Amino acid sequence: MSKPVILTGLRANNQLHLGNYLGALLPIVKLQKQYAGQYQINLFVPDLHSFTTPIDHSKLYEQSLNNIRLFIAAGLDIKDQDTYIYRQSFVPAHSELTVILNSFTYMGELSRMTQFKEKGSGQSSVSVGLFDYPVLMAADILLYGAKYVPVGADQTQHVELARDIAIRFNNKFGDIFVLPEAEKQQIEFAHSTNRLRIKDLQDPSKKMSKSAGSDKGIIFLGDDPEVARKKILSATTDSFGEIAYDHETRPGISNLMDILSALSGTPLADVQQKYQGLSQYGEFKKDVADAVVNFLKDFNNKLQAVDDQLCLDKISQSEKEVNQLANQTLAKAQKAVGLRQ
Ligand code: TYM
């Protein structure tokens, strides 16, 4: 019997940052280790998804490959037989299933997606690609029957939409798709209390995101470690004069605690206990900065050591295999809607 699937994807249209690393890359690497032999892991670059907002197309191909190097630098075991690493556009079934699912998804649902509202707001024109991308994402997930989809908090709504579309389709046509687990089970599976949302260091009311006006609040994975140190040391905190963890009233300090906990692998409760009530914000920030600097140095060493040929071989092998897997599900959906007999 085939193994249950854990799947995630990271777009290639910008430099990845600490939010991407902690929200998606690190969780899937941990899950791969934790559940070795029990689950199939699908890690892919949603390259078609990467130009739903304008990009420099001359860099897309290379950036897609570079994203895959990042997975490996983050600790993914490339030799694991149950792990597939691939690019979305190299598996045409993703696009085909999207067209089918479009007719079972409502304009109202897509208009309510927070990401669409945020990315589309203030733009003079918004592409249909941006509007429709949650359906492409549903196809990414449903083609492989993925049960678990480790993503950051900003993508939860899309995973839930994939589940809703699958339920609707199955209600009409029978058991075609495996359902992704509901949010509560997803969180339990990852042994966490919630999905992670790393905030902008300068404006901790917003998530860390490349679309922020300035780079000062973002730690890029390619940042010079000393530049990153300065960004942490000048992060916005608060003027309470006493360290405490509370995202409502102290988003800046709480964000730094989240970062320290995730990078050092120390449970959040222990980080809280260590610093709670202290008045030395500077000391605390220095500890966070050290953790970030150490992480970046280590990560970049690992990135330099990635064996490109091994990486390319893995991708081409995976792309062969996942095309077969994806086509099996696509064929079921095509049959269900009457396109095939
Ligand atoms: P993308 O490329 O914007 O982000 C990649 C992953 O990084 C997470 N992330 C964050 N996590 C915590 N804090 C942050 N500040 C932060 N910023 C980003 C995202 O939640 C995501 O997990 N639609 C997806 C890509 C995608 C996908 C999929 C993911 C396409 N198809 C199928 C899973 C399954 C996206 O645009 O993520």
Q: Which residue out of 91, 119, 151 has the highest number of ligand 1 atoms within 8 Å of its CB and is therefore the one to mutate?
A: 151
How far is 74 from 303, CA to CA, in rounded Å?
8
> Would you say the CATH fold of 225-303 matches that of 5-197+308-337?
no
Ligand 1 centre distance from Cα of residue 9 (Å): 7
Cα dist. 287→111, 218, 243, 264 in Å? 42, 18, 14, 10
Average pLDDT in the chain? 94
What phi-psi label fits residue 246: left (phi over 0), alpha (psi between -120 and 50 degrees) or beta? beta
pLDDT of residue 133: 96
pLDDT at 23 over 80: yes
Q: Of all atoms in ligand 1, which is nearest to the CA of residue 199? A: 15
Residue 24 CA to ligand 1 centre (angstroms): 7
Residue 251 confidence (pLDDT) above 80? yes
- Is 183's pLDDT higher than 90? yes
Residue 330 has what pLDDT? 98
State what percent of residues in the chain have pLDDT above 90: 89
Residue 53: what pLDDT?
87
Average pLDDT over residues 56-68: 95
At 75 the pLDDT is 94
Sign of the C-alpha dihedral computed for residues 9, 12, 13 and 14 taken in this order: positive
Which residues have C-beta within 8 Å of that of residue 254, sequence separation ≥ 6? 204, 245, 246, 247
Distances (CA, A) of 294 to 197, 225, 260, 290, 300: 22, 8, 11, 6, 10
Q: Residue 195: its pLDDT value, please?
A: 84
Q: What's the pLDDT score for residue 1?
A: 61
Q: CB of 209 within 8 A of CB of 23? A: no
Q: Is the CB of 229 under 6 A from ligand 1?
A: no
For the domain 225-303, what is the CATH code?
1.10.240.10
Which residue is closest in CA terms to ligand 1's atom 26? Answer: 9
The residues annotated with a catalytic role in the active site are: 119, 207, 210
Tell me which of 38-42, 212-216, 221-225, 313-317 is least confident: 212-216
Give the domain ranges of the chain.
5-197+308-337, 225-303
**Looking at the predicted structure, is the pLDDT value of residue 187 above 70?**
yes
Structure tokens at 120: 């589309």
Which residue has the least CA distance to atom 33 on ligand 1?
8
Sheet with strand 83-87: strands edge to edge: 83-87, 40-45, 5-9, 146-148
Answer yes or no: is pLDDT of 319 > 90. Answer: yes
Q: What is the mean pLDDT of residues 250-264?
A: 96
Average pLDDT estimate for 67-71: 93
Q: Which CATH architecture has domain 5-197+308-337?
A: 3-Layer(aba) Sandwich (3.40)
Best CA proximity match to 218, nearest among 69, 44, 16, 81: 16
Q: Report the atom number in ligand 1 closest to the C-alpha of 198.
A: 13
Per residue in 110-152, pLDDT (tens digit) is 999 999 998 888 888 899 999 999 999 999 999 999 999 999 9
pLDDT reading at 213 higher than 80: no
- Index of the ligand 1 atom closest to the CA of residue 23: 11
5-9 vs 40-45, strand pairing mode: parallel
pLDDT value for 14: 66
State phi, psi for 6 to the nearest 5 degrees. -110, 130
